[in-house]
């Protein structure tokens, strides 16, 4: 979504770095997308394994860097682990990840059958999605506060009241845009979770 950037030249002695605020708010949205993608909805998805880290060669490593992740059918994810010595570690990481999936071994291939979600589990996942979205909103509001604090400091240093109001309006408009994006992401994910 395009954010207006026309106010950067508004005041000769003060320039709020709106590009930095936008970059940081985009980061909050990207983080929310990753968290929401990790919630399993009853359909297999390679992205559900993104948050899982494996202790490989002395470092915590994402699963997709120790094997090939595939989705051969709607309720199955497979991981073809490249190094035979890591199969046990990958299996352990999946079991301890809290995804609620029971890995099955077949040589260097780990199969992850995705069970149907019951109504209670769907409601729980919907609440978790809501918590993720609220964390995203809090992050955006904190960035709004940072911008407003910079504007207040500039006001104390002699910025005119008109300029202050215009800058505050721009920061509020950015905040509203990003909060709206978060709400849409949450609504889409909750519909996906509750779909039977």
Could you tell me the CATH number of the domain that includes residue 62?
3.30.1360.40
Query: What is the CATH classification number for the domain harbouring 132?
Result: 1.10.132.20
Q: Does some domain include residue 9?
A: no
Last-in-domain residue among 77, 96, 113: 113
Contact status, residue 176 vs residue 25, Cβ threshold 8 Å: no
Q: Within 10 A of 178 (CB to CB), how many other CB atoms are there?
A: 26
| Threshold 0.85, pTM exceeds | no
**Is residue 2 predicted with pLDDT exceeding 70?**
no
Determine the pLDDT at residue 40.
65
**Is residue 27 predicted with pLDDT exceeding 90?**
yes
Determine the pLDDT at residue 121.
78
Determine the pLDDT at residue 181.
96
Last-in-domain residue among 113, 135, 158: 113
What band does 13 get if pLDDT is binned at 50, 70 and 90? low
Query: Is the dihedral angle over the CA atoms 113, 116, 122, 124 positive or is it negative?
Result: negative
User: Over the stretch 134-159, which tens digit does the pLDDT of each residue have?
Assistant: 999 999 999 999 999 999 998 888 88
Structural domain count of the chain = 2
Contact status, residue 66 vs residue 56, Cβ threshold 8 Å: yes
Mean pLDDT of the region 65-82 = 89
> What's the domain range around 23?
18-36+119-194
Determine the pLDDT at residue 8.
43
Q: What is the DSSP string of 145-176?
A: HHHHHHHHHHHHTT--HHHHHHHHHHHHHHHH
Contact status, residue 54 vs residue 93, Cβ threshold 8 Å: yes
Mean pLDDT of the region 23-44 = 84
Residue 128 CB contacts under 8 Å (≥ 6 apart), including other chains:
39
Phi first, then psi: give them for residue 103, nearest 5 degrees. -70, 145
Give CA–CA dist 166/135, Å, rounded. Answer: 28
SS3 of residue 129 by DSSP:
helix
Residues 174, 83, single domain; the answer is no
Determine the pLDDT at residue 7.
43
Q: Within 10 A of 116 (CB to CB), how many other CB atoms are there?
A: 8
User: Over the stretch 75-119, which tens digit does the pLDDT of each residue have?
Assistant: 888 999 998 998 899 998 888 876 778 888 888 899 988 877 788
Mean pLDDT of the region 165-179 = 94
Determine the pLDDT at residue 42.
65
**Is residue 10 predicted with pLDDT exceeding 50?**
no
């Amino acid at each position: 979504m395009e954010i207006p950037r026309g106010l950067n030249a508004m005041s000769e002695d003060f320039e709020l770095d709106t590009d930095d605020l936008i970059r940081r708010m985009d980061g909050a949205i990207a983080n929310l997308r990753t968290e929401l993608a990790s919630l399993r909805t009853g359909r297999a998805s390679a992205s559900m394994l993104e948050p899982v880290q494996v202790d490989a060669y002395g470092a915590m490593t994402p699963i997709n860097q120790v094997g090939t992740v595939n989705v051969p059918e709607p309720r199955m994810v497979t991981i073809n682990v490249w190094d035979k010595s890591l199969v046990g570690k990958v299996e352990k990481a999946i079991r301890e990840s809290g995804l609620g999936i029971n890995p099955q071994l077949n040589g260097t291939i780990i199969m992850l059958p995705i069970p149907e979600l019951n109504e209670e589990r769907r409601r729980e996942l919907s609440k978790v999605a809501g918590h993720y979205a609220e964390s995203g909103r809090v992050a955006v509001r904190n960035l709004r506060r940072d911008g407003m604090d910079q504007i207040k400091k500039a006001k104390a240093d002699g910025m005119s009241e008109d300029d202050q109001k215009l800058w505050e309006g721009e920061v509020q408009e950015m905040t509203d845009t990003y909060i709206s994006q978060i709400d849409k992401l949450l609504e889409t994910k909750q519909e996906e979770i509750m779909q039977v």
